[in-house]
Amino acid sequence: MNTLFKALNDPTRRAMLELLRERPLTAGEIADHFTFSKPTISHHLDLLRQADLVTSDKQGQFVTYTLNMTVMDELLGWLLQFKPSSDAPQ
């Protein structure tokens, strides 16, 4: 949960997730959408992977990142515990 919130606590990483919503992208393609250096992008992707928000797959020279939303369900569950409707319908 900590790792998840940490990964989400950065606008660049959230933008990356939104990019990957369309389709899987290579590290380079992702980097093209930002003005940060490649190592910085790589570091952000690493944090997203640590949180299991993305998976990475190396194909030759390229590393393709794919959105993995299963972990978001955990967040969704955490969120819903605050929704009174889930506890006491009314």
Partner DNA sequence: CAAGTATTTAGATATTTATCTAAATACCGA
Partner DNA sequence: TCGGTATTTAGATAAATATCTAAATACTTG
Pairing of strands 62-67, 25-26: antiparallel
CB of 5 to a copy of itself, least distance (A): 5
Residue 15 lies near a copy of itself (rule: CB under 8 A): no
50 close to 3: Cβ distance less than 8 angstroms: yes
| Identified binder of DNA from the candidate list 1, 18, 23, 43, rule CB under 7 A | 43
Which residue's CB is nearer to DNA, number 12 or number 86? 12
Tokens of 45: 């992707």
Nearest alpha-carbon partner for 34 in 5, 25, 53: 25
Query: Number of helices (H) and strands (E), helices first, in the chain?
Result: 6, 3
x-or-dash pattern for a copy of itself, window 44-73, by CB under 8 A? -----------------------x-x--x-
Q: Which residues make up the interface to DNA (CB under 7 A)?
A: 6, 9-10, 12, 26-29, 31, 35-47, 56, 58, 60-63
